[in-house]
Amino acid sequence: MSDIDKNVGPTVEAVAQAIIAHADELTELDSAIGDGDHGHNMKRGMQAVLDDLDALAAKPWNEALKAAGMQLVMKVGGASGPLYGTLFMTLGKTLDTPPTRAGLAAAFEAAIEALMARGKAHAGQKTMLDVLVPAAAALKEGKGAAEIAAVAATACAQTRDMLATKGRASFLGERSIGHIDPGARSTQIIIEAIAARSGDVK
């Protein structure tokens, strides 16, 4: 295992704990424009990842991401489970090991494309893609971790004024406007947790 791969365990743990700590908030957001299960769904998936942490931490980044993605597919459920699963599994499949910054940007792009194909969606529809796409662009442009986290935070806040045209929130039509998208918020939380650790991960 390379030195950089020693960060897999602590980073995965930080991401899982951040989601679990915000589960109630995610459920509240999903109660406003969905069916109120997003926090519970994500918490169940991230708990499974934590239960598997020792095995994950022994793997290189690419294998660990694939394994985490499979846990999310199996445990999260809802619309977001297969989507997050696709994101992490494709990241794992595409990432070089040990990861480089250019490799990470390319893998993130491939993972977002796979997610878009899976969900038949694109940015602008009030989903997690409205955070993922600008964050990936910031990464590709060479922005630092704090800047990428700031881009994700702004993008998440901007979902409040958007009209949902994909997923359960789209059933509400105009009434989806005025609420932050729960998947956009969970994505932002994940990006923030990774960015906070990036001093070690670089």
Residues that bind Mg ion (CB under 5 A): 30, 34-35, 37-38
Backbone angles phi, psi at 128, to 5 degrees: -55, -25
**Structure tokens of 60?**
């290189």
Mapped to the 3 state alphabet, what secondary structure does 32-44 carry? Answer: HHCCCCHHHHHHH
Choose the binding region for ligand ADP from 50-58, 59-67, 122-130, 140-148 (rule: CB under 6 A): 122-130
Using Cβ positions, the residue closest to ligand ADP within the complex turns out to be 183
Size of the site for ligand ADP (CB under 6 A): 22
Please identify which residue in the block is written with the tokens 């729960």. Answer: 182
Nearest Cα residue to 39 out of 80, 4, 68: 80
Beta carbons of 198 and 135 less than 8 angstroms apart: no
CB of 167 vs Mg ion, minimal distance in Å: 8
Going by the DSSP 8-state scheme, the letter that residue 163 receives in this structure is P
Q: Is 119 in the site for ligand ADP (CB under 6 A)?
A: yes
Binding positions for ligand ADP, 79-98, rule CB under 6 A:
79-80, 83
Beta carbons of 81 and 19 less than 8 angstroms apart: no
Choose the binding region for ligand ADP from 31-39, 44-52, 103-111, 137-145 (rule: CB under 6 A): 31-39
Q: Decide whether 35 or 161 has the Cβ nearer to Mg ion.
A: 35
Spatial separation of the C-alpha atoms in residues 83 and 118, rounded to whole Å: 7
Q: Is 183 in the site for ligand ADP (CB under 6 A)?
A: yes
Binds 5: which of Mg ion, ligand ADP, none (CB < 5-8 Å by kind): none
Q: How many residues does the chain have?
A: 202
Among 71, 127, 176, 188, binds ligand ADP (CB under 6 A): 127
CB of 200 vs Mg ion, minimal distance in Å: 33
Q: Is 73 in the site for ligand ADP (CB under 6 A)?
A: no
3-state secondary structure of 152: helix
Within a 10 A sphere around the Cβ of 178, how many other Cβ atoms? Answer: 11
Note the residues at the interface with ligand ADP (CB under 6 A).
30, 34-35, 37-38, 41, 78-80, 83, 119, 121, 127-129, 166-168, 181-184
